[in-house]
Chain A
Amino acid sequence: MIEVKNINKSFSGNQILHDVSIDFKQGEINLIIGASGSGKSVLTKCIIGLHEVDSGSVLYDNREFTNMDFKERKDIRKEIGMLFQGSALFDSLTVEENVKFPLEMYANKSNEEVLDRVNFCLNRVNLDNVNHLYPAELSGGMQKRVGIARAIALNPKYLFCDEPNSGLDPQTGIVIDNLIQEITEEYNITTIVITHDMNSVMETGDNISFIYQGKKWWEGNKHEILKTDNKELCDFVYASRIMQKFRNI
């Protein structure tokens, strides 16, 4: 479980996050939703320590992360897997080397064991015979799956996904959503997904936090979100005509 308590963050006097507190539950997909520029990405970067918070705290299973030094954070980061919006695969490495990277860096395993784990992770995300391809030779959906394989290589306790289905067609997007859901349940990990895709919200939203102008505006699940009368959330959820029609049915 990850607890975010009263986080504030500003850049050059411009406050981006205002007193945000959220609990992200283990074994569930925790969604952070909101419009572009609402502060979702800043919040995530604060949680994983890529940005330092001005005040407030982040606890990973009761371990205070915000006050830790680089060395202590490193131990927690070994328990974190992250899927980036653009996959962030290392261009100069093959698929196999990308997935192998965290294992070679930290796992004390023989070459055969490392290779077995790499093949297991690639197999888990339904990728076969791509070990020796470079990221540029893969489709967007395949790159995301390699990103997931790399993220789960070290058996993480926490999985962060930044807009996992952006740039993908709806069908591939659903495949990625389902994969994240299966992995979350299978390994009982705390998964945080940042998205503004309503398909993802309705598919996987166990625990949803809506961020509006840097504040946590609403919290609930995929069933509650359709019944909400919160104006700002309704503006976000029913922004498209199809969702407006759906609402009027």
Chain B
Amino acid sequence: MLLGRVFKKPDNFKLIRKQIIHEMMSLGIGSLGLIAIISLFMGAVVTLQTASNLNNPLLPAYLIGYATRESFILEMAPTVMSLILAGKIGSNIASEIGTMRITEQIDALEIMGVNSASYLIFPKITAALLFIPIIVIYSMFLGALGGFIVAMYNSGMTIEDYITGLRYDFKPFSIVYAMIKTLFFAFVITSIPSYHGYYTRGGALEIGKSSTKSVVYTSIVILIINYVITQLLLL
């Protein structure tokens, strides 16, 4: 029912466009720093762990770069980053909308004749659908960069091996698969917290509960969708 109201024709396209840009800045740009740090370090650690496990003369060294690329494209960037964004963006959305609910700001919108669900939630969902795929691609590159930095300073492999691995047997469909997953995750990351925030009742304690509940449910739904999409697209 809430989603039905969210996707109704907006009251004012100009204001909605302004809101979408605002949400892209606050939800998207605001997450770039965190995603950069996590991706760089995870890329470095994945490369190190793979290098230590493939320490066998029968296995070619370029497999380290290959494994880093595959793990980042298939899982780390779309799924793990979405789980992180579920915590960061999800709790932010639930507490923002929850606060608006208990301080009667949503009632104020309704009394002005504004479809509050559409005005508040639609720009968040749209901004996430547009921006989270970009964040995921950014994470893929930074993960590979993290591995590259390790390759530069690690005696167990050469930069050439690492780059060969990154380019070895590349299947463009892996990116398509990651983007399909990401779009589903982006929808979940914004819609579930919006729902919990919108239906918050009570006071500050309930805002905290809504925020926690939204992160938990979003994470579980992301994991389930991840399994279902992988089953459907890769097997």
A48 to B107, CA, bound (A): 10
Interface assignment of B112: CB less than 8 Å from any CB of chain A: yes
> Which one, B62-70, B97-105, B213-221, is touching chain A?
B97-105
- CB of B33 within 8 A of chain A? no
Chain A positions 74 through 113: 1 when the CB is less than 8 Å from some CB of chain B, otherwise 0 = 1101101010111011110000000001101110000000
Interface residues as binary, B12-51 with A (CB distance below 8 Å gives 1, 0 otherwise): 1011000000000000000000000000000000000000
- Of the candidates A50, A78, A104, A105, the one whose C-beta lies within 8 Å of that of B110 is A50
Question: Considering the chains assembled together, what is the distance between the CA atoms of A74 and B99 in angstroms?
Answer: 24
> Residues of B contacting A124 with CB < 8 Å?
none
Q: Is the CB of B104 within 8 A of A88?
A: yes
* Residue A73 CB within 8 A of the other chain: yes
Task: Write the chain B residue with the least CB distance to A154.
Answer: B112
Residues of B within 8 A of A160 (CB): 111
Least CB distance from B39 to A in Å reads 29
Contact A84-B11, Cβ < 8 Å, known A77-B113, A91-B99, A105-B114: no
Which B82-132 residues have a C-beta within 8 angstroms of A?
99-100, 103-105, 107-108, 110-115
> Which of B14, B15, B103, B114 is A88 in contact with, Cβ under 8 Å?
B103
Q: Once the chains bind, are A77 and B15 in contact (CB under 8 Å)?
A: no
Kindly report which residue of chain A lies nearest to residue B5, judged by CB atoms. Answer: A70
CB <8 Å contact, A82 and B108? yes
Contact of A104 with B104 in the complex, beta carbons under 8 Å: no
- A90 and B99 CA atoms in complex are apart in Å by 10
Give, as a whole number of angstroms, the nearest-CB distance from B200 to chain A.
15
Q: Report how far A106 CA is from B99 CA in the complex, Å.
A: 25
Q: Is the Cβ of B113 less than 8 Å from the Cβ of A88?
A: no
Q: Check A77 against B11 for contact (C-beta < 8 Å).
A: no
Partner of B112, one of A50, A75, A78: A78
Number of B residues whose C-beta is below 8 Å from A?
Answer: 17
Which of the residues A70, A78, A84, A105 comes within 8 Å of B104, measured between beta carbons? A84
Contacts of A101 in B (CB 8 A): 112
Q: When chains A and B are docked, how far (Å) is the Cα of A85 from the Cα of B108?
A: 11
Alpha-carbon gap, A102 to B15, bound state (A): 11
User: How far is A82 from B105 in the complex, measured between Cα atoms in Å?
Assistant: 11
**Distance between Cα atoms of A44 and B114 in the complex (Å):** 19
**Which of these, A70, A74, A84, contacts B108 with CB under 8 Å?**
A84
Contact assessment for B11 and A105 in the assembled complex, using a CB-CB cutoff below 8 Å = yes
Q: Given that A105-B11, A105-B12 are contacting pairs, would A88 and B105 also be in contact in the complex, using a CB cutoff of 8 Å?
A: yes
B99 and A80 form a contact (CB under 8 A): no
Q: Which listed residue, B100, B105, B112, touches A102 by the CB 8 Å rule?
A: B112
* CB–CB A73/B113 < 8 A: yes
Give the chain A neighbours of B110 by CB distance below 8 A: 50, 77
Q: Are A80 and B12 in contact (CB under 8 A)?
A: no
**Is B12 a contact partner of A88 (Cβ separation < 8 A)?**
no
The answer to whether B105 touches A80 (Cβ under 8 A) is no
Given known contacts A105-B11, A105-B15, A90 and B105 CB-to-CB distance under 8 angstroms? yes
Rounded to whole angstroms, the CA-CA distance of A89 and B112 in the bound complex is 13
Closest 6 CB pairs of A and B: A77-B113, A74-B113, A88-B104, A88-B108, A84-B104, A82-B111
